[in-house]
Amino acid sequence: MKHTIFKGVKTFCIFNISKQIPKEHTTLFVNNMATKISSSIRRFGKDVFEEQMLLVNISIESLNRFTNWKSNRPVDPMKVDEIIKSIKSGLFTPQAIHTFLDAKTNQLVIFDGGHRMTAYKNLFASSESESQLLTNYLGGCFVTTVVMNPTDKFMIEKFRAINMSTPVPEIYKTPESMIKDSVNLEILKVVPKFVERFKKEYKCCKTTNRPHKPSYNASVLCNDMFEILTTYFTDTEIDLKKIDVQYLMDMSNMLNTQYKNEILKDPTSVKGGVKIVEKATLVNCFIFLKDSWKDDFVNQMNQLESVNALDFDVDGTATTRLSHTTIAAT
């Protein structure tokens, strides 16, 4: 059975994938069948890898064979919902899911396309009608590229190249196994959890790369917080265990309230003026209205560390006592 693409410029045939992939990996595809579009050789230093482009039949079995790379950023439910809506509206443009074959786990590991794959899985599992909608929309299959058994270094560079125009946090560009600094490892664990918590409280997160203030991009915030904490721990000796999600949320809430008090007194002090301040008031998010917020965040942490005091009054007022000086966020 032959298929023709690109107006007949290139033809390819359905083939038995076991001839291309070692026998132990043939269970990756339903009925051992896939459609090969191309095969190329990738060179990275002294290493050589094969990269194949394949069409995979849509089924619950095939979708579940794909897993997200642990070094990739967590899937954003908001972005997944946007993809699902675009599929249902007929505006979604299918793109390749980029993977590599992990010989240890016998899985196709996604390093680009995790949101699309999660949207596919959610649609397929939601109901028979939506499963059929997805199958019909994608023509019964989707495109994936597969790098065969690559090294970590190759995948990191490939991941960076793909995401050059996307604000992917630096902490997701290096696998945990390659991070030797114990401080950075701890920060790597807490920052994504903090960002997820922050998004629930400050609901003006946008998926666009450069959202208008007071909105923010979660990936950029993740990067910024990683930068704040690595800078802080470079200059300060402190017990890392105290820096947890709640601590970072307390710092964020205090700084946000401080900015709110200052800005509402003089809305013209903010670039964009009254309009921006009105938007910030609606979502109660002022923290990104000042370009100095990262420095102020670090300074606030330093001040609190100097007295080790953070209390919340009955009315929710956050108060810090600094050398007999009280700074109240009301």
User: What pLDDT shows up at residue 226?
Assistant: 82
Same domain, 180 and 108: no
- Express each pLDDT in 86-119 by its tens digit: 999 999 988 889 888 887 777 789 988 999 999 9
Could you tell me if residue 330 is inside a domain?
Answer: no
Confidence of residue 83 (pLDDT cuts 50, 70, 90): very high
Name the residue range of residue 193's domain. 170-298
Kindly report the CATH number assigned to the domain that includes residue 26. Answer: 3.90.1530.10
Could you tell me if residue 99 is inside a domain?
Answer: yes
Could you tell me if residue 317 is inside a domain?
Answer: no
Instruction: Give the CA angle between residues 210, 211, 217 to the nearest 5°.
Output: 80
Report the largest interatomic distance among the alpha carbons of the chain, rounded to a whole angstrom: 82
**What is the 3-state secondary structure of 281-313?**
HHHCCCCCCCCCHHHHHHHHHHHHHHHCCCEEC
Q: Quick one: average pLDDT of 23-46?
A: 64
Distance CA 58, CA 134 (A): 9
Distance CA 319, CA 322 (A): 10
Same domain, 24 and 154: yes
Same domain, 175 and 151: no
Same domain, 33 and 155: yes
- Express each pLDDT in 37-78 by its tens digit: 888 888 888 888 888 888 888 887 788 888 888 777 778 888
- Domain tally, the chain: 2
Domain stop point among 139, 162, 185: 162
For residue 93, give both structure tokens.
């443009």
Distance CA 67, CA 24 (A): 18
Same domain, 206 and 141: no
Q: Which of 196, 193, 327 is nearest to 254 (CA)?
A: 327
User: Out of 19-23, 100-104, 121-125, 296-300, which region has the weakest mean confidence (pLDDT)?
Assistant: 19-23
